[in-house]
Structure 1
Amino acid sequence: MAFDGIVIANLVQELNETIANGRISKIAQPENDELLLTIKGASGQVRLVLSANASLPLIYLTKTNKPSPLTAPNFCMLLRKHIANGKIIGISQPHMERIINFEIEHLNDLGDLCRKQLIVEIMGKHSNIIFCDDENKIIDSIKHVSAQVSSVREVLPGRTYFIPETQEKSNPLTAEKESFLANLSRSSLPVQKAIYTAFTGISPVIAKELCFRAAIEETQTASDLTEEEKLRLFQQFSALAEDIKAGNFTPNIVRNGKEPMDFSAAELTQFRDFTMEPCDSISEVLETFYATKNVYTRIRQKSADLRRIVTTALERSRKKYDLQKKQLKDTEKREKYKVYGELIHTYGYGLEENAKNLEAFNYYTNETISIPLDPQLTPQENALKYFKKYNKLKRTYEAMTELIEETKEEMLHLETISTSLDIATSEDDLTQIKEELIQYGYIRKRPAGKKEKIKSRPFHYLSSDGYHMYVGKNNFQNDELTFKFAVGNDWWFHAKGIPGSHVVVKTNGDELPDRTFEEAGRLAAYYSKARDNEKVEIDYLEKKNVKKPNGSKPGFVIYYTNYSLVASPDLTDIQLIAE
């Protein structure tokens, strides 16, 4: 996630357009490392979120309020004392760093006009919010950093504030062509890394984007580039720098389906296989991206226990399957024992007493074979011994064959549940999956009580031609869609031979256009275990030809006549209708 200098530059531009010359009417500290400033400007009241969270540092404008503790923390009280009702007279970004400096004008206790600085550093685990006077002396900070914590810089009251120069990086907005090309020529690093380690505010994503735009492989060693390649790269670098200086930003979110993958203030053409969602402002990007990302993160955290149960059960089933296959292989010699018994019955009458083997003509293969005998037993007893071995192995074979089929069904069932966990987007989806695991004994049944109401519904899409398409999120929904919701002439889609969702297209008695078939195939490909493949083979047929065997597990169907198509697991341009 590229919260880099370019995103900060876009933020500074947006803040200068919205809250510059505004007054700070309220200061709150809803979290230990987060401030919420309410600012009244010419265009009305807005809220500014400033977060120095180590894992999720943020700055963005929002209309949403957050509850604050009844007793304000000391840092919040200090800010209220000094800059409550203060005027924001300047918002700047030093040298393309991930830093925003707010210059605030206010009246002190004596009524004299004073200036203070509120400096927000967005630097991962080193993020901080620092309050300084007009001479760069630190008054206080939301996080104190002592010499024991950092040998580079102390952030404590009374210390002088400065930006630590831990790396020799240049400002990309002032970089000259000669220095850019010289840096590439002497670098032994891959091109992508050579760029983002040499210039302030350039993230790995943006460095890769520059390589992509210049048609250069980002993993190639920088010094090995030809002069023409270096020149192409500089042209793209220079064009990006000019856009930043001119304030030409394109805030956007890159999505894989509905899930947000990345964001930027520059167009990310490298993600051409994904959806790029443009936004009106960088604040909208950040608020939307992190809110949505948090949903997916929370769902993954909440599904971790279910996923562990499914993974453990799958591993157990696979071990059981391997053992059963080995036992089945051991039964392959059963027919040999049957033949031994028959041949002893046929030729054993002429055997000498205490014979240890019988040389006999095998009329099944037209070969002479040697049959081992127990000299302590009569020919009839030896024959009976081999028939007993044959019958035992035959029973084992029949039992193992049946057990192997059951284990294969169990493994397939668990893999479909695993796929359901992959596509779950809400806690309601997880509730339904948990119910299935309880029903089949993978989770202990809870004591009888109030049953959780299932609110999860299948995904609902609209094809480009106006046909409604439905995608089951789990096995229960797959059964419901296919056998209760769909009617005979509706079309049914599923990834061939792999776990995945049932996709149903309502035809309303019409003949479906080719484009709708293609879009339904893409849905079936995306909501399957093969969603990371470039192409997926899809089976499709009319619903009336899909059957469910008696006693089979949810989601399991059979069919014998079907059509096939190859689809890419891509949801671009397929309209999702809100549940």
Structure 2
Amino acid sequence: MAFDGIVIANLAKELNDTLTGGRIYKIAQPEKDELLLTIKNQKNQYRLLLSADAGLPLVYLTETNKQSPMTAPNFCMLLRKHISNGRILKVTQPGLERILRFEIEHLDELGDLCRKTLVVEIMGKHSNIIFCRDDGMIIDSIKHVPAQMSSVREVLPGREYFIPQTQDKQDPLLINRDQFLKVVFGKPMKLSKALYTSLTGISPLIAEELCYRASLESDQPANTMGEREQLHLYHMFELLMEDVREARFVPNIVNNGRIPVEFSSITLTQYRDLTCRNYDTISMTLEAYYAAKNTVTRIRQRSSDLRRVVQTILDRDRKKYELQLKQMKDTEKKDKYKVYGELINTYGYHVEPGSKSMEALNYYTNEMITIPLDPMLTPLENGQKYFDKYNKLKRTAEALESLLKQTHDQILHLESIGAALDIALSEEDLVQIKEEMVESGYIRRKNTGKKVKITSKPFHYISSDGYHMYVGKNNYQNEELTFKFASGNDWWFHAKGIPGSHVIVKSEGAELPDRVFEEAGRLAAYYSKGREAGKVEIDYTEKKNVKKPNGSKPGFVVYYTNYSLTIEPDLSGLTLVD
């Protein structure tokens, strides 16, 4: 997980700088595994979120308050009894463990000065918040862990607190060169895994980053590395640890468009092709990252029903299309039957009654062919039988030609809706996509009596040279951009042969620099089904060359004059205007 020892070290530094000397003003437990502490320090008020949720353990400062239950849980009441109005002495991290220790000074019932420790363990499903006496004995914890649940360590009142040494890992802040070379390069496993399984607090993300900085293949076996490569990796590792010791942190989030990919307290050079945003504090980083992640997850969940409908109809239409293609292939025999009928009418007077076949010269190819006959029919009747087969297959082919086009167009339309669902980032985006599906007959409209309000707008980017570029999020926006918003000399971009967004570049009557064409092409590639490909072919032309066929689905266009370029899906260098 990205919430590794380095992020915890960054948090310890921030919380020490912010909270040391502060008094705990309020203690709340808004969720089963979550605490919210309000701390006053030097006339400022801070809220500290501590979550031991197995799926998403978190620690960060926030300005957001949460509603607490009417009756406080027992653990919350215990903390209020002991450390309400207590003073935070310091926040520490043992080694590079994913653990924060809050040392708190308070007065007991007799007015004597006492110390307690609140330990927050950020360890995935084993995360916990443990309240201890100064001598290390556990008073209570937000999660009780009896012997039946863990053979390594019990977390119960009256037990001694200790950090479980479940793995033979070295402290990255204390390890020397010889130890590093021995524990990392002595393992017959891929290099990145050897790093994060040998060193405390080093996540797979940081292990990959170290390999990238050292220009080494992370999946190469560690025990096959040469001495020079080993020393180079150790040098990169030592530079990183020096940054941690000196608290030279760079809290940041790496984004792929608007989708957060990773967060860290160090610069992630392995993501050069993606955009990176730095933050002033690690708390701001964590809050922004998980808020964005939650938004993406929520939209994915909300769009799941629409995706299911699209996929179900797509699967049905694809099967139907394959069947129609097979039927169309069968109609290719029609011309053969027509020739048989013509040849029988021309040469049939030579055929003996009861014959099962006849030989005739095909005057279309100047070759002799054998024509099967029904011995129970006359030559004239055999000829008419072949003409009947021809006419039946001809009518079938004409009907299938129209059906094939309808089915193919619907498949393309559904794929374009699927592409729009992939780039939807808000409830408003889903509302417009759902409206298109209702109007296309894919789902029924709920009779609520309310008119659907559309507030979703296209993406708006500014190019490196200051040109305005617009990207449709769905078929309705594509059509609006191309045929109502764009003027004749504006430029239109679209991924060739695959579903994707229309991209409009406002030219304002000027000749666009080459870089603008490249950036618009990258936008069209990124907002298409080819986003994950290394290169995408893009068609582009002036808007005046783009036409909409009569009766076509929303967003469908044709063009006969265009240029093409092949480019990587990439948003770097582009500014998104909210």
- Normalised-by-shorter TM-score class: over 0.9
1:491 equivalent in structure 2: 491
Are the counterparts in 1 of residues 415 and 499 from structure 2 also a CA contact under 8 Å?
A: yes
**What does the per-residue CA deviation read over 1:120-168, in whole Å, with 9 as the maximum and x for residues that have no partner?**
0001111110111111111111111112222211111111111111101
Aligned equivalents of 1:356 and 1:514: distance in 2?
72
2:511 equivalent in structure 1: 511
2:105 equivalent in structure 1: 105
Report the 3-state secondary structure (helix = DSSP H, G, I; strand = E; otherwise coil) of the residue aligned with 2:198. Answer: coil
Are the counterparts in 2 of residues 213 and 236 from structure 1 also a CA contact under 8 Å?
A: yes
**What does the per-residue CA deviation read over 1:184-215, in whole Å, with 9 as the maximum and x for residues that have no partner?**
34211111111110110000110111111111
Gaps of 5+ in 1: none
2:331 equivalent in structure 1: 331
Q: Greater CA deviation, 380-389 or 491-500?
A: 491-500
Are the counterparts in 1 of residues 46 and 63 from structure 2 also a CA contact under 8 Å?
A: yes
Which AA in structure 1 matches 2:301? Q
Which AA in structure 2 matches 1:348? G
Are the counterparts in 1 of residues 60 and 283 from structure 2 also a CA contact under 8 Å?
A: yes
Are the counterparts in 2 of residues 491 and 507 from structure 1 also a CA contact under 8 Å?
A: yes
2:233 equivalent in structure 1: 233
Report the 3-state secondary structure (helix = DSSP H, G, I; strand = E; otherwise coil) of the residue aligned with 2:91. Answer: strand
2:446 equivalent in structure 1: 446
Aligned runs of 1:339-350 on 2, under 5 Å? Answer: 339-350=339-350
Gaps of 5+ in 2: none
1:300 equivalent in structure 2: 300
**What does the per-residue CA deviation read over 1:33-57, in whole Å, with 9 as the maximum and x for residues that have no partner?**
1111111112611111101111110
Which AA in structure 1 matches 2:488? G
Aligned equivalents of 2:261 and 2:202: distance in 1?
18
Q: Post-superposition shift, 1:513?
A: 2.3
Aligned equivalents of 1:91 and 1:525: distance in 2?
47
Are the counterparts in 2 of residues 538 and 567 from structure 1 also a CA contact under 8 Å?
A: yes
The answer to whether residue 374 in structure 2 is matched with residue 374 in structure 1 is yes
Aligned equivalents of 2:391 and 2:278: distance in 1?
71
Q: Greater CA deviation, 381-390 or 312-321?
A: 312-321
Which AA in structure 2 matches 1:302? R
TM-score (norm 2): 0.98
Q: Post-superposition shift, 1:514?
A: 2.2
Aligned equivalents of 2:479 and 2:262: distance in 1?
35
The answer to whether residue 236 in structure 2 is matched with residue 273 in structure 1 is no
Aligned equivalents of 1:466 and 1:164: distance in 2?
56
Report the 3-state secondary structure (helix = DSSP H, G, I; strand = E; otherwise coil) of the residue aligned with 1:342. Answer: helix
Report the 3-state secondary structure (helix = DSSP H, G, I; strand = E; otherwise coil) of the residue aligned with 1:572. Answer: coil
Q: Post-superposition shift, 1:446?
A: 2.1
1:520 equivalent in structure 2: 520
Q: Post-superposition shift, 1:416?
A: 0.4
Are the counterparts in 2 of residues 184 and 230 from structure 1 also a CA contact under 8 Å?
A: no
Q: Post-superposition shift, 1:427?
A: 0.7
Aligned equivalents of 2:370 and 2:464: distance in 1?
74
1:557 equivalent in structure 2: 557
**What does the per-residue CA deviation read over 1:67-120, in whole Å, with 9 as the maximum and x for residues that have no partner?**
212221111111111000000112111121100010100001110111111000
Q: Greater CA deviation, 390-399 or 40-49?
A: 40-49
1:434 equivalent in structure 2: 434
Report the 3-state secondary structure (helix = DSSP H, G, I; strand = E; otherwise coil) of the residue aligned with 1:152. Answer: coil
TM-score (norm 1): 0.98
Report the 3-state secondary structure (helix = DSSP H, G, I; strand = E; otherwise coil) of the residue aligned with 2:552. Answer: coil
Q: Post-superposition shift, 1:13?
A: 0.7
Q: Post-superposition shift, 1:448?
A: 5.4
Q: Post-superposition shift, 1:411?
A: 0.9
2:502 equivalent in structure 1: 502
Which AA in structure 1 matches 2:426? S
1:353 equivalent in structure 2: 353
Aligned equivalents of 2:532 and 2:205: distance in 1?
21
Q: Post-superposition shift, 1:17?
A: 0.7
Aligned equivalents of 2:10 and 2:358: distance in 1?
93
2:128 equivalent in structure 1: 128
Are the counterparts in 1 of residues 185 and 194 from structure 2 also a CA contact under 8 Å?
A: no
Aligned runs of 1:194-233 on 2, under 5 Å? Answer: 194-233=194-233
**What does the per-residue CA deviation read over 1:354-377, in whole Å, with 9 as the maximum and x for residues that have no partner?**
111111111111111111111111
**What does the per-residue CA deviation read over 1:289-344, in whole Å, with 9 as the maximum and x for residues that have no partner?**
01111101111111111111111111111111111111111111111111110011
Which AA in structure 1 matches 2:443? I
Q: Post-superposition shift, 1:264?
A: 0.8
Are the counterparts in 2 of residues 361 and 367 from structure 1 also a CA contact under 8 Å?
A: yes
> Structure 1 residue runs of 4+, over 4 Å off?
none
Aligned residues: 578
The answer to whether residue 85 in structure 2 is matched with residue 74 in structure 1 is no
Aligned equivalents of 2:468 and 2:211: distance in 1?
41
Q: Greater CA deviation, 509-518 or 550-559?
A: 509-518
Identity of aligned residues (%): 66
Aligned equivalents of 1:143 and 1:185: distance in 2?
38
Are the counterparts in 1 of residues 459 and 472 from structure 2 also a CA contact under 8 Å?
A: yes
Q: Post-superposition shift, 1:469?
A: 1.2
The answer to whether residue 573 in structure 2 is matched with residue 573 in structure 1 is yes
The answer to whether residue 80 in structure 2 is matched with residue 58 in structure 1 is no
2:147 equivalent in structure 1: 147
1:193 equivalent in structure 2: 193
Are the counterparts in 1 of residues 184 and 198 from structure 2 also a CA contact under 8 Å?
A: no
1:395 equivalent in structure 2: 395
Q: Post-superposition shift, 1:566?
A: 2.5
2:257 equivalent in structure 1: 257
1:407 equivalent in structure 2: 407
Which AA in structure 2 matches 1:162? F
1:116 equivalent in structure 2: 116
2:8 equivalent in structure 1: 8
The answer to whether residue 546 in structure 2 is matched with residue 546 in structure 1 is yes
